[in-house]
Structure formats: C-alpha cells, structure tokens
Amino acid sequence: MAQRLDGKALAQKIQAQLATDISQRDPNLRPPGLAVVMVGDNPASAAYVRNKERACDRIGITSFGSHLPADTAQETVAELIDQLNNDERVDGILIQLPLPSHLDSVALLNRIAPDKDADGLHPENMGRLMRGEAGLRSCTPAGVMAVLKEYNIDATGQKAVVLGRSILVGKPMALMLLAANATVTMAHSRTEDLPALCRQADILVAAVGRPNMINSDWIKPGATVIDVGINRIEDETSGKARLVGDIDFASVEPIAGAITPVPGGIGPMTVTMLMHNTVLSYRKRFNG
C-alpha cells in the first residue's frame, strides 16, 4: 500500500512553528495581520473563511474580515482593497473566490499590493515565480511542494505530470516542479490519451475538479500521487454529502508509492501556506 502523505499533520506542525515565531517577536511590534474580503453568501466560501479565521486565531495573526453584500459594486470593492493596501496593520490581503459574476475578479486581484498578496496571484508575484526570484507563492502549489519536502520526495530528474492548467494551481504548480528540477508535462481537457500520459508520471498532481476521475489504470506503479481536488458528492446510501478528490483513492492506493488523502491532504496545507505568506510579508516589513 502507498505511503499516506499526511498534509493535516504537516499543517499543524508548520502552524505551531509560525505561532512560536509570532510569540517570540519584539514585544513593541504588533502581530501580523490578514484581511479577508468576501462578497456574497456562498456557503462554501463562508466555510473557507471561517477556517482561515480560526487558523489566524491559533497562530496569533490578527484577522480583519470584510463581508460585503452580493450586489456590492466593483468600485466599492476596489476602494476597500485600496484602504487595506494602505492599512499599516495589514500584511496580507485575500479576496475569497469565486466572486459574484458581475465583479471583475482579475482586476480586483491585480489591485492588491504585490507585497500584501497573500494568495500569491498578483502578476508581479507570478512573474517572480517564472523568473525563479523570491516572492509570495500561490498557496496550494506551495503546499504541495512542502509536503514533498517533508516526506523527502525529491523531484530531481522525475517525470511530473500536472493535470489542470488554472492560474490558481496548474500553472504555478508546473513552474514550482520545474524549479525543483523535475521534467514537467502539463495536461488538460484537450490532451489526447490522458491515461497513457499519466502512466508515465513519477509524480502526478491532479487538479481538475472531477470526482474520482483518475483510477488505477492511470497510475505508474510506485508513483507519487498528489490529489488537489476537493469535490463534494452525495452518498447514494446515506444521502449525506462527503468530500472526495480527483483520484479514486481506493483503487490507486494499492498501486502508488505515496498518495495524499482527501480530506486531510493538500487542503489543510493551502490554508497553512496562506498563513505562511502573511508572516513572510510581516517579516519583510519589519526586518527588511
């Protein structure tokens, strides 16, 4: 059976270290601050925001929440971002996605000051990633890389396949694996013969948002399988909802060398890297 890569345990370990670092700061300095902007009443978004606020409380980060009505105008959200950019208490700004359809999410994300871009999605931070320069990194891919490091999975010389090409996960994930000296292939809905391509992967990262899409026929024996997907499905027997990934865990676990579970894999790491980015911005502000 594959080794289970426990993202939840690693997230707790990193958060504990962040909490220690914050507690040991100069007592004359304020704690780090994270501002989360949410527009509308999406239940999943509300749950994510609560998780982030709880993580802030555990670590010692001051949380500044802004919950705006669903019909809030673009100009109003933009003005709020400008205020947060200029707020000396705030080190990180996060816009909870998705936004209501009438809002231009790209314009709003780009309005965040690059050094307060807690999600690592600003073009300047993406450019730094492309150039191999230091900067804030996209949280989910950074969480994947932290898991690989924790379990001593060296990407050097490995064939890596990334399923999905979103700006949130797929594209930055490919760049991070490339920086770790893997040979990277990006695949997507238009890729021909996906199973054959995936069977070549020493490291497979799935971020397509389709429940249990990838089964054992897609997996190279001994491969490291990273499941970024979080899909809510209804159990036919109980009628209750449960979370599954993009990987059919039951069929893949006996074949893979290592695998992340859902839940308890990359999900907790995404929130943790958001906290990490906020603390990184804070340190840069006060330590140069």
81 is in an annotated binding site: no
Task: Give the per-residue pLDDT at 216.
Answer: 97
pLDDT over 70 (residue 25) = yes
Task: Give the per-residue pLDDT at 287.
Answer: 82
Task: Give the per-residue pLDDT at 242.
Answer: 87
119 is annotated as an active-site residue: yes
Comparing 29-116 with 139-267, is the CATH topology the same? yes
Question: Residue range 107-120: average pLDDT?
Answer: 97
Question: Residue range 256-265: average pLDDT?
Answer: 97
The pairing of strands 258-259 and 3-4 is parallel
Could you please state the CATH topology (level 3) that the domain comprising 139-267 is classified under: Rossmann fold (3.40.50)
Supply the pTM of this predicted model: 0.95
6 is annotated as an active-site residue: no
230 is in an annotated binding site: yes
Choosing from 6, 15, 91, 96, the catalytic residue is: 96
Task: Give the per-residue pLDDT at 83.
Answer: 98
171 is annotated as an active-site residue: no
Choosing from 6, 15, 52, 158, the catalytic residue is: 52
pLDDT in tens, 212-252: 999 999 999 999 999 999 888 887 777 788 889 999 999 99
CATH of domain 29-116: 3.40.50.10860
Instruction: Identify the H or E element spanning 229.
Output: none
Mention every residue, 6+ apart, whose C-beta is less than 8 A from residue 246.
Answer: 163, 206, 207, 208, 209, 210, 211, 212, 213, 214, 227, 228, 229, 231
Task: Give the per-residue pLDDT at 288.
Answer: 57
229 is in an annotated binding site: no
Domain boundaries, the chain: 29-116, 139-267
